[in-house]
């Protein structure tokens, strides 16, 4: 085998990067693999559209059948996005014994386990390292590098758009709406930013990481998701005064073979490694029973960083083809899907209340928390702008989600509590 022929689905930002990497690193790739890698077909929506990369126009097609049914094509590289139509295309490709490399986290979060099983049935590989955190090789690290360890927790900044927004809000004191507009102008945020700022993009990535790390088949619906739209400057400033930075963090943890996956704005200590990850960069913090704490940092998106991850997966697929070991990368989940209930979810919490500034009000509030065995590490009481009102900001010690919810519900029944202004999880501390 002197040449492996591939079909490329998509010629946008990442697809263009894949073409460039394969062209610019051609000699190195041949040296590493012992064969050439040649694109023979590229699936696009419009074959006449001007391109940012010089390619052979004979490669272009708008017909998926020209890739799926071409017997010479051994690997399909999918970087076009989409879910339902793309899933159908990849299913057909696998049934035709074609290996898959994809950067599509939306697809893998919803149909990944099904596609992986189908790949194994057809003795094919499907690799998806580029679908999470762009150029950071976190999928391969969990699947191979840390395979012998028991991973207990993963914390990550896995969405560059929200990290850019939170960085600007924190460092420059800007409002959410203003930073979002700037992010859209710079191309960090989509015209419809909902998937990013509401946490769905990060949730899709975290469920993929949790499945790999915990050897369990979790679903997207198992992830608790809360975005950053409600974070304001007052919350950020209070967090700073208490020694914390607010970031949108994905957390996956497992205890006694029960998992929890959440994506939400979280207060981290100012000196935590993830607190120092700014702008559009991503980072994933992994805690293993044997290895301890490790962190992986780098660009979470972009043409060439993501394309590098795609081509690395492609090279792995080709090595497996040449060694005759394709179709063995997927390992069935080892453990039954089990989720923690509220009484088993433990963390610290930041709570900010608007209250009546009157004698005995603070005592009533502390009595509520005392009734639910909630104690505090830090408490601030400040006068509010409105006369007769005050604000109370608290950081709890570690409590269960059940204790928290019961306490917050009881607070609503107190006449001295005007409203719960905000509430965030606190993490990153022993």
Three-class DSSP category at 231: coil
CA R_g for the chain: 24
DSSP string computed for 412-428: HT-TTEEEEEEEEEE-S
Q: Which residues contact 346 (CB under 8 A, 6 or more apart)?
A: 398, 399, 400, 401
Residue 411 CB coordination number (10 Å): 19
Give me the catalytic one of 41, 105, 168, 205.
Answer: 205
Q: Is 205 labeled as catalytic in the residue annotation? A: yes
354: which strand partners? 391, 419
Distance from the Cα of residue 202 to its chain's centroid: 3
Strand blocks (E) in 30-179: 36-43, 60-61, 73-78, 99-102, 126-127, 151-157
25: number of Cβ within 10 Å:
16
Burial status of residue 423 (CB atoms within 10 A of its CB: 0-12, 13-18, 19 or more): middle
Q: From 175, 166, 161, 195, select the one nearest 81 (Cα to Cα).
A: 195
Residues linked to residue 75 through DSSP beta bridges, in sequence order = 6, 99
Using left for φ > 0, alpha for ψ between -120 and 50, and beta otherwise, residue 404 falls in: alpha
**What is the Cα–Cα distance from 228 to 250, expressed in whole angstroms?**
13
What is the set of active-site residues?
205
């Amino acid at each position: 085998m002197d040449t492996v022929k591939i079909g490329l689905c998509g010629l946008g930002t990442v697809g263009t990067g894949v073409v460039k990497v394969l062209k610019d690193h051609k000699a190195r790739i041949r040296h590493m693999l012992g064969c050439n890698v040649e694109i023979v077909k590229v699936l696009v929506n419009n074959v006449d559209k001007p391109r940012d990369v010089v390619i052979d126009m004979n490669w272009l097609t708008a017909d998926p059948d020209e890739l799926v049914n071409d017997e010479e094509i051994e690997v399909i590289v999918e970087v076009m996005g989409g879910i339902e139509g793309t899933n159908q295309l990849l299913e057909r490709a696998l049934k035709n014994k074609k290996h898959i490399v994809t950067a599509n986290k939306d697809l893998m979060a919803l149909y990944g386990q099904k596609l992986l099983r189908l790949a194994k049935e057809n003795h094919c590989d499907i690799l998806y390292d580029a679908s999470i955190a762009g150029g950071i090789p976190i999928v391969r690290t969990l699947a191979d590098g840390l395979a012998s360890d028991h991973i207990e927790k993963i914390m990550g900044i896995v969405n560059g758009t929200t990290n850019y927004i939170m960085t600007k809000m924190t460092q420059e004191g800007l409002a959410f709406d203003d930073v979002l507009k700037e992010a859209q102008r710079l191309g960090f945020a989509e015209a419809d930013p909902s998937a990013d700022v509401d946490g769905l993009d990060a949730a899709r990535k975290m469920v993929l990481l949790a499945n790999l790390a915990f050897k369990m088949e979790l679903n997207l619906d198992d992830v608790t998701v809360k975005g950053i739209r409600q974070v304001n400057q007052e919350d950020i400033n209070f967090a700073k005064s208490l020694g914390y930075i607010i970031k949108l963090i994905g957390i996956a943890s497992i205890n006694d073979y029960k998992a929890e996956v959440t994506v939400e704005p979280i207060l981290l200590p100012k000196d935590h490694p993830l607190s120092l990850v700014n702008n559009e960069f991503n980072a994933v913090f992994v805690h293993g029973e044997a290895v301890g704490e490790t962190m992986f940092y780098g660009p979470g998106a972009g043409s060439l960083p993501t394309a590098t991850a795609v081509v690395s997966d492609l090279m792995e697929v080709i090595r497996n083809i040449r060694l005759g070991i394709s179709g063995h990368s997927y390992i069935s989940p080892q453990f039954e899907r089990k989720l923690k209930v509220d009484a088993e979810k433990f963390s610290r919490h930041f709570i900010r209340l608007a209250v009546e500034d009157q004698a005995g009000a603070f005592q009533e509030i502390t009595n509520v928390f005392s009734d639910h065995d909630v104690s505090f590490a830090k408490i601030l009481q400040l006068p509010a702008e409105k006369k007769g009102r005050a604000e109370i900001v608290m950081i709890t010690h570690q409590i269960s989600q059940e204790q928290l919810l019961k306490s917050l519900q009881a607070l609503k029944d107190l006449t001295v509590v005007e409203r719960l202004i905000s509430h965030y999880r606190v993490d990153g501390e022993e």
